[in-house]
Amino acid sequence: MKKHLIIILWMTFVLPGLTGHLAGAQEKPWTLQDCIGYALDHNLSVQRSALQVLQREVDVNTAENNRLPGVHGSASQNFSFGRGLTADNTYANTNTTNTSFSLGADMTLFNGFRLRNNILLSKLNLEAATVDLEKAKDDIRVAVAKAYVQILYNREILAVAQRQIEIDSLQVVRLETLKANGKSTAAEVAAQEATLAHSRLTCVQADNNLRLARLDLAQLLELPSPEGFDVVVPDDDALAVPMPAGPEAIYEEAVGIKPAVRAEETRLAYAERNIDLARSGYLPSLSLNGGLGTNFYTSSGYPSKTFFEQLGNNFSQYVGLSLNVPIFSRMANRNQVKTARISYDNQQLQLETAKKQLYKEIQQAWYNALAAQSKFESGTQAAAAAGESFALTQAKYENGKASITEFNESKNQYLKACSDLAQARYEFLYQTRLLDFYRGRELTL
C-alpha cells in the first residue's frame, strides 16, 4: 500500500518536473533573479522613471547655473532714407547709416533667497525622482515574482491533470479488456471514456493557463515572444521557510526603507521648502548690471570720421545697481504663502496615507502567509491521506470489490487534495518571500 502511494506521489510531482526539464533543455530556463534583472533593464515603466531622474538632474544644473551672471552681446545696422533731422537741427533729405555694438552682463545679487530655495527644491525633486525609480523597480520585482510563482503553480496543476489522464487512460484499457472477456459492459466503458474526455479537457485548460502565465511574465520582461521561455522550479528547501515576525515588527523595518514612504517624505520636505520660496516674495531683490557699447554714424552730404575712429571715440561703459522693493502685490504674496502651506498639509496627509497603505499591505501579506501555512500543513496531511485512500480504493476496484463510481470519487478527492496542496505551497512561498522583501531583502526562491 505504501509502495503504491510512493509511486503515485512520485509520478504526480517528480516525473512531470523531470519531463519539463528535459523538454526545456534546448533553452536554459530562467531563475527568478534572471527574470528580475532582465525586467529592470528592459521594462518600459522603469525606463521612463530613469528618464525622469535624468531630467531632474538637468533641472538641478539649471537652478545652480542661475547664480552665474548672464552675458549678452548685440550688433545692429540701420539705414535711413529721406527727410530727417541734421546735425545743425534742420531737416533735409539725407541718407544715414548707424552701426552699433554692445556687450552687457547682469547678475542677481539678492532676490529674497529665491535662488537658494530653487536649488534646494530642484535637489529635492531629484531625490524624489530617484526614490520613485526605486519604487518602480520594487513594483516590477514584486510583479515578476508573483508571475513567476503563478507559473510554478500552473505547472503543478498541469502535472496533476496529466496524472489524471494517465489514471483514466489505464482504466479505459482495463475496462475494454474486461469487456472483451465478458466481465464489463459497454456502458461502463463508455462512462469511463467520458471521464477520460473530461480529464483531457481539464488538462487542456491547465496547459492553456500555464501558457498564459508564461505570457504574462514574458510581457513583464518585454520579451518579444514567450516561445521557448520557461522558469526554474525551486527545490523543496525553498519551501521550508519559517513564518517571519508579526506585521508590526516588519512594518518597523519597512517604513524607513521602502521607496513608497521615502518618496512621500521627500515631497513633504519639498512642500516645506516651497513655503520659504513663497515667503521670498515679501523680500526686496537687488541686481547688478553693466556693459560696453560703441557705434558708427554717417550722413550723406556731411563729412564723418572713419569707421574705427568713430568706434574708438564713441566707446562707452556703464555699471548699475537695480533694487526692487515689493510694496503691494494685490495680496498675491500672501496667497502664495497660504497655498504653499495648504500643499504642505496635504503632503502630510499623503505621507500618512502611504504609511497606512504600507502597513495594510504588510498585514495582508502576513495573514495570507499565516493562512497559507495552515493550509499547506493540513493540505500535506490531506494529500497523503487521500493518496493512501486512493491506493486502497484502486486495489479494491481492481479486485472487483469497489465500483467504478467509488474509484472515480476516490481519485477525484486525491487529485483535488494535490491541487489544493500546490496552491497552498506556492501561496505560502510567495507571501513569505514578499514579507522578507518588505524588510529590505532580495526576492529569491
Q: What is the DSSP code string of 207-276?
A: HHHHHHHHHHHHHHTT-S--TT--BPPP-GGGG-----S-HHHHHHHHTTT-HHHHHHHHHHHHHHHHHH
Is 331 in a helix, a strand, or coil?
coil
Centre a 10 Å sphere on the Cβ of residue 28 and count the other Cβ atoms it contains. Answer: 10
pLDDT at 19 over 70: no
The three grid cell numbers given for residue 351, joined into one nine-digit string: 505621507
Report the C-alpha gap between 440 and 347 in whole angstroms. Answer: 25
Please give the single-letter amino acid code of residue 63.
Answer: A
Is 352 in a helix, a strand, or coil?
helix
Q: pLDDT confidence of 4, banded at 50, 70, 90?
A: very low
416, 164 in Cβ contact below 8 A? Answer: no
Is pTM beyond 0.85? Reply is no
Look at residues 432, 99, 372, 130 and name the one whose alpha carbon lies nearest to residue 259: 130
Q: pLDDT confidence of 240, banded at 50, 70, 90?
A: low
pLDDT at 22 over 70: no
Centre a 10 Å sphere on the Cβ of residue 297 and count the other Cβ atoms it contains. Answer: 16
- What's the DSSP call for residue 11? I
Burial label, 175 (beta-carbon count in 10 A; 0-12, 13-18, 19+): buried
Report the C-alpha gap between 32 and 432 in whole angstroms. Answer: 15
98, 296 in Cβ contact below 8 A? Answer: yes
pLDDT of residue 57: 97
pLDDT of residue 402: 85
CB under 8 Å to 139, separation ≥6 — which residues?
Answer: 45
pLDDT tens per residue across span 38-72: 999 999 999 999 999 999 999 999 999 999 999 99
* Measured CA distances, 380 to 99, 383, 391, 445 (Å): 96, 5, 17, 20
Question: What is the pLDDT of the chain when averaged over all its residues?
Answer: 88
Average pLDDT rounded to a whole number, residues 362-388: 93
pLDDT at 30 over 90: yes
Q: DSSP of 68-113, one letter per residue?
A: SPEEEEEEEEEEE-SEEE-TTS-EEE--EEEEEEEEEEEEEEESTT
pLDDT at 17 over 70: no
Report the C-alpha gap between 428 and 271 in whole angstroms. Answer: 41
Please give the single-letter amino acid code of residue 340.
Answer: A
251, 440 in Cβ contact below 8 A? Answer: no
Percent of the chain with pLDDT over 70: 91
Gyration radius of the chain over CA positions: 40
171, 190 in Cβ contact below 8 A? Answer: no
The three grid cell numbers given for residue 283, joined into one nine-digit string: 523680500
Centre a 10 Å sphere on the Cβ of residue 23 and count the other Cβ atoms it contains. Answer: 9
Q: pLDDT confidence of 18, banded at 50, 70, 90?
A: very low
Q: Where are the domains of the chain?
A: 2-67+136-266+374-438
pLDDT at 331 over 70: yes
Topology of the domain covering 2-67+136-266+374-438: Outer membrane efflux proteins (OEP) (1.20.1600)
pLDDT tens per residue across span 276-306: 999 999 999 999 999 999 999 887 777 888 9
pLDDT of residue 366: 94
Bridge partners for 286 per DSSP? 110, 323
pLDDT of residue 114: 93
pLDDT of residue 8: 41
pLDDT at 78 over 50: yes
pLDDT of residue 107: 94
155, 233 in Cβ contact below 8 A? Answer: yes
pLDDT of residue 405: 85
Burial label, 326 (beta-carbon count in 10 A; 0-12, 13-18, 19+): middle
pLDDT of residue 239: 63
Q: pLDDT confidence of 179, banded at 50, 70, 90?
A: confident
Burial label, 235 (beta-carbon count in 10 A; 0-12, 13-18, 19+): exposed
